Amino acid sequence: MTKILYSLKSIHKIIKENQPSKVCVVTSKQLSKKLAWALKEVEALKPDLIFVPDGETAKEWQELEKLLKKFSLVNLDRNSIVIALGGGTIGDFTGFASSIYLRGIKYINIPTTLLSQVDSSHGGKTGINFLGYKNQVGTFNLPLAVIIEKRFLESLSEENIIDGLGEVIKTGFIKDPSILSILRRHTVSSLVRSPDFLKIIKKSVAVKNYFTGKDLKDNGLRQILNVGHTIGHAVELKYKVSHGRAVLIGMLQEIEFTESLKLTDPSVLKSLKNLLKHLDIDINNKMNAEWGIIIHDKKVTGSHINFPAIIMPGNAKIIRLDLKLLKGFF
């Protein structure tokens, strides 16, 4: 069971409990300069430091091979612990490498962006991109712990906060409408300075872990977390927009689709649009997903797709649809 902790200082307790033979920190050179204070916190562990590229360029076969070689060069063994320090790509990439090196060594995820703190660091999904498609090769590998430190968020740009809020808003619509109520009390800038910020992070994490705890291998219920992602992933790949913005574009378009099928109450789309306007998040909803990308979605089996649909705020379910119906709308 993964521990969720809310202070970087808790790393010392986790390490003491597990008594690893070696500790290795995987991060990027750019992050190591920005987060010198965080690396100083783990200095006492005497870790080996391994650098990987920033962003999606890290999640490629050749970079995976380089990381595995570095694991070997610093003599990691089955009793070693790897610490992923960075955003979602570093967490996904490091978690995957840890799952296949020596058939699996332990790792700790320390996410440094809002998006990774509320989303990708939870549920054990790891992986790399393949043939131009996101996360096509990977494993389920739960970390020993996810350590969420609010101080990381203080240096993020407003655009990076919006990126994370895409997933936060999604959790409010699929499970916990109280998240939406809190968001309606703020703008993006006021939220970051408010005690409510940590509150919605914890609530979003709780929603994520509710679904992953009931369906770790993503065979059914967990797919509800994919609201906005069928279209969103395709938009993200085509237009190179941030993941969170792509999810919001996906939510707007997917809600229009399920509303046309009389599955979603008309109030849902209005509620989402009003919330985005209140938060002053401007979304370009003219971006169109390519069908060739959509059919590679992991929820597609044969001629059907398990499509997650919001019924009402806080209520979502999986609908099995013929792909022709989806193609006819998009």
- In this prediction, residue 125 carries a pLDDT of 96
- In this prediction, residue 1 carries a pLDDT of 82
- What is the 3-state secondary structure of the chain? CCEEECCHHHHHHHHHHHCCCCEEEEECHHHHHHCHHHHHHHHHHCCEEEECCCHHHHCCHHHHHHHHHHHHHCCCCCCCEEEEEECHHHHHHHHHHHHHHHHCCEEEEEECCHHHHHHHCCCCEEEEEECCEEEEEEEECCCCEEECCHHHHHHCCHHHHHHHHHHHHHHHHHCCCHHHHHHCCCCHHHHHCCCHHHHHHHHHHHHHHHHHHHCCCCCCHHHHHHCCHHHHHHHHHHHCCCHHHHHHHHHHHHHHHHHHCCCCCHHHHHHHHHHHHHHCCCCCCCCCCCHHHHCCCCCEECCEEEEEEEEECCEEEEEEEEHHHHHHHC
- The predicted-structure confidence for 298-322, as pLDDT tens digits, reads as follows 899 999 999 999 999 999 999 999 9
- The predicted-structure confidence for 78-114, as pLDDT tens digits, reads as follows 999 999 999 999 999 999 999 999 999 999 999 999 9
Judge contact between 121 and 109, C-beta under 8 A: yes
Checking if the pLDDT of 261 tops 90, the result is: yes
Please tell me the pTM assigned to this model: 0.94
- In this prediction, residue 120 carries a pLDDT of 96
- In this prediction, residue 218 carries a pLDDT of 92
Q: Which CATH architecture has domain 3-153?
A: 3-Layer(aba) Sandwich (3.40)
Whole-angstrom Cα distance, residue 14 to residue 74?
21
Checking if the pLDDT of 296 tops 90, the result is: no
- Considering the chain, what percentage of its residues have pLDDT values greater than 90? 89
- The predicted-structure confidence for 55-68, as pLDDT tens digits, reads as follows 888 999 999 999 99
Checking if the pLDDT of 179 tops 90, the result is: yes
Domain borders along the chain are 3-153, 157-329
Average pLDDT over residues 51-58: 91
- In this prediction, residue 169 carries a pLDDT of 98
Half-sphere exposure of 233 (CA within 13 A, CB side): 19
The CATH number of 157-329, from 1.10.3210.10, 3.90.1570.10, 3.40.50.1240, 1.20.1090.10, is 1.20.1090.10
Amino acid code (one letter) for 224: I
Bridge partner list, 107: 82
Residue (of 146, 194, 127) closest to 6 by Cα position: 146
Whole-angstrom Cα distance, residue 86 to residue 190?
25
